[in-house]
Amino acid sequence: MALEYMEAVVGFMILMYIFETYLDVRQHAALKLPTLTKPLVGVISREKFEKSRAYSIDKSCFHFVHEAVSILMDICILYFGVLPWFWKISGEFLVYVSVNPENEILHTLAFLAGFMIWSQVTDLPFSLYSTFVIEARHGFNKQTIWLFFMDMLKEICLSIILGPPIVAAVIVIVQKGGPHLAIYLWGFMFFLSIVMMTIYPILIAPLFNKFTPLPDGELKEKIENLASSLKFPLKKLFVIDGSTRSSHSNAYMYGFFKNKRIVLYDTLIQQCKNDEEVVAVIAHELGHWKLNHTMYTFIAVQVLTFLQFGGYTLVRNSKDLFKSFGFDTQPVLIGLIIFQHTVIPLQRLVSFGLNLLSRSFEFQADAFAKKIGYLKALRAGLVKLQEENLSSMNTDPWYSTYHYSHPPLVERLAALDESDKKAD
């Protein structure tokens, strides 16, 4: 009886792997098509299509291998009792260094430290191959092996600095939370998310990239005029040196209330044909702000987080659940890990729902940019970014519906054309 929980989780993991691999196979077949989908013929150059096709196929093949190894390791960890064994070993390590293993916070930190080392070691070959073989082969990787390992070291240091106090707080809240545990956990995570959104762009992101003010000029003037016309409280405009690591391009905004900042990747400025295309991309991002997409998404995530913690409180004291995964005790962290595995079906549905919401927001933001006069520039910018990033030109509809948070280019262009026809 006790084993049924674990077997059900492993069984669903296998079913999900089979289903998602089926979608991957469909997508791989679409990527191998030798011709562009009709709406993109004459829009995307043949040269860019061939480069995109080769890049996408390489990434797809790599994905098959990575996912197969990952699911095999995850199943082995659960089915062969690696979690309880490692929990026991981490306790014995604490005894060895003369630390009381009954202290759940220290025991949990020792457990997490071991698993962090394990995950770094097992994922390193895939990260190296993806960065220095696939990305380099297709002209995207710009970082040296030294910079790669420096970034990894910085991430480990951040985990060591930020992880322990967060873990300790969660354990104390669960131990002391009582009947209102879900509310306390959600309140803490809400506070933590606000803090992280505040300090990440100011303290953490600059550890990895250099942020410099956008130089005075026509581009800066156009963006400031656009922001002003929309009453967007723009305080600073930055350019990030994304080209030190990759040729991929992006733009984003951050900040609370009247203190907004916009960040442009230097690669975005380099790749777009003219300033108007860059401004059109910014107009799309400002559309998200004007239409409150960021706020709606944040609220949705907070509601889901609260519901998730509510579900956790219902099962956290289930001895049978812990026993099914090989535990005689009920550590807080292990309870959270087990709960995450037991709600995988709901997580997949929620992720799918959020993707649908995100795609709807992308269409709306495109329509907003078109409404304020950037239709031609936005179309050109979207095509340019698709070409320069060698994004997949042919996509399987089932795969894109399930996985993509952004609609494929052909759908975005079709939606812009349709809205333009209606306007006429």
Please state, as a whole number, how many other Cβ atoms lie within 10 Å of the Cβ of residue 371: 13
Which residues participate in the annotated binding site for Zn(2+)? 284, 288, 362
Query: What is the length of the chain?
Result: 424
For residues 378 and 381, what is the distance between their CA atoms, to the nearest angstrom? 5
Amino acid at 94: L
Q: Is 396 a catalytic residue?
A: no
Angle (nearest 5°) at CA 67 between 64 and 68: 80
Please pick, among 24, 276, 285, 387, the residue that the annotation labels catalytic.
Answer: 285
Phi, psi (rounded to 5 degrees) for 237: -120, 120
The CA distance from 394 to 41, in Å, is 11
104 is catalytic: no
210, 241 in Cβ contact below 8 A? Answer: yes
| Helix (H) / strand (E) containing 94 | helix 82-96
- Residues at the binding site are 284, 288, 362
- Sequence-ordered strand ranges (E) for 81-135: none
Tokens linked to 172:
């104390």
Query: d(Cα 364, Cα 360) in Å, to the nearest integer?
Result: 6
The residue from 24, 276, 277, 366 that is catalytic is: 366
**Beta strand pairing call for 260-265 and 251-254:** antiparallel
Cα–Cα–Cα angle for 214, 216, 218, rounded to 5 degrees: 100
Distance CA 171, CA 173 (A): 5
Instruction: Count CB-CB contacts under 10 A for residue 324.
Output: 20
Find how far residue 58's CA is from the centre of its chain: 21
Beta strands 211-213; 260-265: pairing state: unpaired
Buried b (16+ CB within 10 A) or exposed e, 27-38: bbebbeeeebee
State the Cα–Cα distance between residues 343 and 178, nearest whole angstrom. 23
Tokens for 77, please give them: 């960890």
CA distance 249 to 385: 7
Q: Which residues are annotated as catalytic? A: 285, 366
